[in-house]
């Protein structure tokens, strides 16, 4: 069980007398149990907003005993007690040989006074004048720069599939609900990946109290809960996927390549036995509105896995180490949920400013390094689809072998591709009108239009026909819309020409078959 790894690390850090152990968790009860077990005979105090200062190892009537007799009996139930405990506890050595757990300290770490008190305590611990371990438990990580060198961050490991299976079977046994076997159990286990024991048990209990059973419907509930959880974490977004490969006009080379990867991803064990390596991912670069995002979505549908979107902008935190922690968390969440597609949108924006000086640029450079290392060493079934408009802004390291399996560029659609794109969008909205439209005519009038432009003129054409009260849409409606708009190529001619030249020079693969 992976939880053991966490316990081992916690014990090691306490033994090594690390002054502050910051545990990134919202499962206070689980952490309490673990700390009490690991700390053996050492005295453990705890401060939390609700109960003030408590002696965790002295329990009467099932409740920890308040520490009134020490620290001058100053517990007035406010955060001031925490400050007093740290100041007086250190001065009067009452904190010596003790562990002080502090719950949800993150808002107070913005106060320089508390930071100074803690720093002072850490210095004494480092000098060997005090033997105290502070354990902070909080779901929000904020590490003030002054305390960085005295602190380690400990994150809960995600549960592996065997452990999740044990939890589900244990729950079923306790509630006398019989057993689950085979494919359904496997599906539920996979759906629960990325959740904690507490969350798994809560969802199961909710479902049982609402419907009295655990079945296929439970999987839907889990996915919903997981989406909520991912939303709450705020770094990854779970994107519902409706578009498939059939919704993409053209880009045949890219579609064929993704099709090959899907054969591997759908039976990784078999592919592995055969000696095939697990795919890492693809970088799709090129002109805006030409299907990059569409491909990210359609690949998740093709692989039959969830799509997670990583917003690099949201990773940036205001505390030292926060951005790196966020990226680590996003990566481990994606790995826990794997197999999945991790879509990193606008990659060039995420890593703009690399190599520069100043706080922001340094953080970006560190994040970039972290991302590269992960891509290089990745062994999990997280298939990365990174999309970028301007590859010239991307650092060259990203394009080296070993990071992405392949780099494709998408350009403005060719005539044959435009034909397919028109057909897709007309069929989607007015299937019966497709044979009333001369698509070849539209194609010849739309040179330089992107896929998004084409979708736009189809929408406008349909709207025009409706407003005029026409019973169906014909060629003239869409032609009118084409003539009323400017193509992407007209708007961005120079930029597009420059990009295409760059892609060709770098010998990236073209996503379209016909050049």
Residues forming the site for ligand ATP (CB under 6 A): 248-251, 288-294, 387, 389, 421, 424, 451-452, 455
Backbone dihedral angles phi then psi of residue 25, each to the nearest 5 degrees:
-160, 150
User: How far apart are CB 254 and ligand ATP at their closest, in Å?
Assistant: 10
The residues with which 137 forms a beta bridge, in sequence order, are 23, 103
CA distance 492 to 453: 13
In the complex, the smallest distance separating the C-beta of residue 240 from ligand ATP, rounded to whole angstroms, is 14
103 versus 425: smaller Cβ distance to ligand ATP: 425
Nearer to ligand ATP, 95 or 407 (CB): 407
Q: Where are the alpha helices (DSSP H) in 42-141?
A: 79-91, 112-126
User: In the chain, helix, strand, coil percent, each to 5?
Assistant: 55, 15, 30
Could you give phi then psi for residue 16, rounded to 5 degrees?
Answer: -80, 0
Least CB distance from residue 347 to ligand ATP, whole Å? 11
Phi first, then psi, for residue 43 (nearest 5°) are -75, 135
Q: Supply the minimum distance, in Å, between the C-beta of residue 358 and ligand ATP.
A: 28
The smaller minimum CB distance to ligand ATP, of residues 90 and 308, is found at: 308
- Closest CB to ligand ATP among residues 279, 451: 451
Residue number closest to ligand ATP, CB atom: 451
Going by C-alpha positions, the residue among 417, 189, 386, 429 that lies closest to residue 299 is: 386
Q: How far apart, in whole angstroms, are the C-alpha atoms of residue 206 and residue 217?
A: 13
Least distance from ligand ATP to the Cβ atom of residue 510, Å: 13
At residue 482's C-alpha, the angle toward residues 480 and 486, to 5°, is 130
CA distance 344 to 348: 10
Tokens describing residue 274: 């055969």
Residue 240: alpha-carbon gap to chain centroid: 15
Q: Which is nearer to ligand ATP, 199 or 453 (CB)?
A: 453
Give the nearest distance from C-beta 452 to ligand ATP in angstroms.
4
Give the nearest distance from C-beta 156 to ligand ATP in angstroms: 35
Minimum gap (Å) between residue 446 Cβ and ligand ATP: 13
Specify the residue, 22 or 503, whose C-beta has the smaller distance to ligand ATP: 503
Q: How far is the CB of 404 from ligand ATP (least distance, A)?
A: 17
Gyration radius of the chain over CA positions = 29
**Nearer Cβ to ligand ATP (139/288):** 288
Nearer to ligand ATP, 46 or 455 (CB): 455
Give whole-number Cα distances, 392 to 117, 150, 205, 214, in Å. Answer: 48, 41, 52, 52
Q: Quote the CA–CA distance of 163 and 153 in Å, as a whole number.
A: 24
Q: Which is nearer to ligand ATP, 28 or 455 (CB)?
A: 455
Those residues whose C-beta lies under 8 Å from the C-beta of residue 137, and which sit 6 or more positions away, are 23, 25, 28, 31, 101, 102, 103, 104
Residue 190 or 290 with smaller CB distance to ligand ATP: 290
User: Which one, of 90, 56, 53, lies nearest residue 75 by Cα?
Assistant: 53
As given in the structure block, the two tokens for residue 227 are: 């989406």
Residue 144 · residue 108 · CB < 8 Å: no
The least distance separating ligand ATP from the CB of residue 251, rounded to whole angstroms, comes to: 6
Please give the Cα distance from 64 to 42 (Å, whole number): 15
Q: How far is the CB of 233 from ligand ATP (least distance, A)?
A: 24
**Closer to ligand ATP by Cβ: residue 200 or 290:** 290
- Residue 350: name the closest of 307, 396, 384, 316 by CA: 316
């Amino acid at each position: 069980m992976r939880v053991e790894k966490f316990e081992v690390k916690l014990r090691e850090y306490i033994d090594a007398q690390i002054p502050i152990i910051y545990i990134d968790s919202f499962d206070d009860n689980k952490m309490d149990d673990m700390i009490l077990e690991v700390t053996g005979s050492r005295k453990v105090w705890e401060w939390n907003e609700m109960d003030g200062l408590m002696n965790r190892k002295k329990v009467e009537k099932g409740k920890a005993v308040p520490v009134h007799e020490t620290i001058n009996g100053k517990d007035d139930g406010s955060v001031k007690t925490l400050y007093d405990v740290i100041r007086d506890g250190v001065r009067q050595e009452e904190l010596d040989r003790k562990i002080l757990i502090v719950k949800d300290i993150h808002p107070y770490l913005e106060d320089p006074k508390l930071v100074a008190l803690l720093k002072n305590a850490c210095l004494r611990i480092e000098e060997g004048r005090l033997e105290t371990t502070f354990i902070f438990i909080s779901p929000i990580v904020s590490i003030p720069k002054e305390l960085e060198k005295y602190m380690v961050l400990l994150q809960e490991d995600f549960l592996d599939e065997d452990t999740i299976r044990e939890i589900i079977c244990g729950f079923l046994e306790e509630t006398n609900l019989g057993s689950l076997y085979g494919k359904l159990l496997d599906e539920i286990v996979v759906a629960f990946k990325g959740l904690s024991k507490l969350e798994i048990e809560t969802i199961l209990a909710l479902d049982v109290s609402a419907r009295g059973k655990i079945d296929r419907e439970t999987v839907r509930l889990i996915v919903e809960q997981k989406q909520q959880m991912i939303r709450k974490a705020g770094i990854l977004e779970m994107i519902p996927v409706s578009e498939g490969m059939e919704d993409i006009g053209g880009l045949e080379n890219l579609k064929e390549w993704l099709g090959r990867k899907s054969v591997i991803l759908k039976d990784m064990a078999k592919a592995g036995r055969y000696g095939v390596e697990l795919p890492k991912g693809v970088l799709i670069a090129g002109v805006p509105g030409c299907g990059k995002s569409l491909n990210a979505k359609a690949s998740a549908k093709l692989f039959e896995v969830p799509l997670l979107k990583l917003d690099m902008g949201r990773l940036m935190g205001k505390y030292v180490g926060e951005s790196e922690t966020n990226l680590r968390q996003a990566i481990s969440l994606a790995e826990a949920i794997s197999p999945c597609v991790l879509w990193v949108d606008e990659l060039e924006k995420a890593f703009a400013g690399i190599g520069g000086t100043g706080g922001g640029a340094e953080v970006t450079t560190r994040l970039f390094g972290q991302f590269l290392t992960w891509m290089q060493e990745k062994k999990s079934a997280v298939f990365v689809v990174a999309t970028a408009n301007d590859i010239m802004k991307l650092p060259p390291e990203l394009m080296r072998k070993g990071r992405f399996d392949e780099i494709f560029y998408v350009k403005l659609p060719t005539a044959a591709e435009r034909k397919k794109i028109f057909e897709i969008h007309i069929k989607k909205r007015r299937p019966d009108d497709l044979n009333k439209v001369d698509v070849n005519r539209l194609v010849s009038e739309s040179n330089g239009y992107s896929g998004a432009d084409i979708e736009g003129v189809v929408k406008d054409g349909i709207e025009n026909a409706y407003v005029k009260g026409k019973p169906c849409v014909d060629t003239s409606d869409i032609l009118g819309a084409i003539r009323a708009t400017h193509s992407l190529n007209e708007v961005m001619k120079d930029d597009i020409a420059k990009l295409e030249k760059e892609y060709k020079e770098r010998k990236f693969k073209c996503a379209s078959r016909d050049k």
